[in-house]
Structures are given as C-alpha cells and as structure tokens.
Amino acid sequence: MTAADDVFGRSPGASTDDVARLAGVGIATVFRHFPTKTELLEAVLTLRLERLRDRALELAGSDDPGKAFYEFFTQVVTESASKLAIAEALTAAGAAAGEEARAAGHGMREAFNGLLTAAQRAGAVRSDAEMAEVYALMIGASRGATAAKLEPPVRDRMLALIYDGLAPRS
C-alpha cells in the first residue's frame, strides 16, 4: 500500500507494474491482493482519507483547539496534490469512489467538523462560519494550490489570507 500511495500520488497515470517494482514484489502479488488497478486506487484513496480522519481525531485532543484546527487545514492543503492525483487516476480508470472511500471521506468530514466546533468554542474561528463553507474553503484551497502548482511560500500566504478571513471579528 505504501508503494501504491507513493507511485499513484506522484503520477496518476502510473501502472501497477510501477507499484510492484517499487514494492519489490512481482505483479502477480499486487493482483492477488487487488485484482484490478481500480481496486488498488480505491484502497489507496480510502487509506489516505482514513489517515486524515485519524489525524483530525488525534488533534481533537489538543489543548489548543485553534492551533489544531489550522494545523489540520494546512495539512490537508499541503498534501492535496498527491491525494487529488489518486482521485484523478480513479476517475480516469472509469470509476468513482466506492463505498469504503465514501465512508472514509464522511468520517474525515465529521472529524474536521469536530475540530472546527472546538476551535469556534475556543474563540479561534469566527462563530458564524458554518461547516459547509469552511469545508468548501479547505477543498477549494486544496484544488487551487494543486492546479496552480503553488510553491510553498505562495501557498502559505494564501492560507494566511484564508485564516485571516476565518478569524473572529472584534
């Protein structure tokens, strides 16, 4: 799975042969576990979303809910290029995310909502910002940073502008 995550995260058009080569196994081993490239892509996407969910849940226990919220938002945007590449590869293979990936995505959104709510209670995020719009900001920033191939300093300035808009008004 690590090899598939790495290979497909770098290049949506990569092959299962590339995954097998990086993993140091034969192609038959890959296909024994994942009979189709689509199943492998979905497994990688599901794993990515589960890791994000788990990270959000881990951050939910933070003593500083505002810092935890912004840290997670930044992580999602920073890692978006490889996650989007995997999702694009799945779409290019003629498939949509399956039930497991959708469930993992739902879990990640719920965990993000928990971070947002805690940050709002702590006064770190404006109270009138609702989950739907804040989540849309995070997804939009992720897609925008990826599409524009933003260098880290530019991406960080973009995030600072978004975070300024999310800050409570005095």
Per-residue pLDDT tens digits for 97-123 = 677 878 888 999 999 999 999 999 999
Per-residue pLDDT at 130: 97
Count of alpha carbons within 13 Å of 18, Cβ hemisphere only?
14
* Nearest one of 87, 2, 86, 100 to 50, comparing CA atoms: 100
- DSSP code for 63: S
Dist CA 58 CA 4 (whole Å): 25
What count of other Cβ atoms lies within 10 Å of the Cβ of residue 156? 14
pLDDT tier at 125, thresholds 50, 70, 90 = very high
Domains and CATH numbers, the chain: 37-166 (1.10.357.10)
- The pTM of the full predicted model, rounded to 2 decimals, is 0.84
Three-class SS of residue 125?
Answer: coil
Per-residue pLDDT at 14: 73
* Nearest one of 46, 17, 41 to 29, comparing CA atoms: 17
Is the pLDDT confidence value at 22 over 80? no
Is the pLDDT confidence value at 93 over 70? no
Is the pLDDT confidence value at 54 over 90? yes
**Of 5-14, 40-49, 69-78, 152-161, minimum mean pLDDT range:** 5-14
Count of alpha carbons within 13 Å of 73, Cβ hemisphere only?
28
Is the alpha carbon torsion for 77, 83, 89, 91 positive or negative? negative
Which one has a higher pLDDT value, 81 or 45? Answer: 45
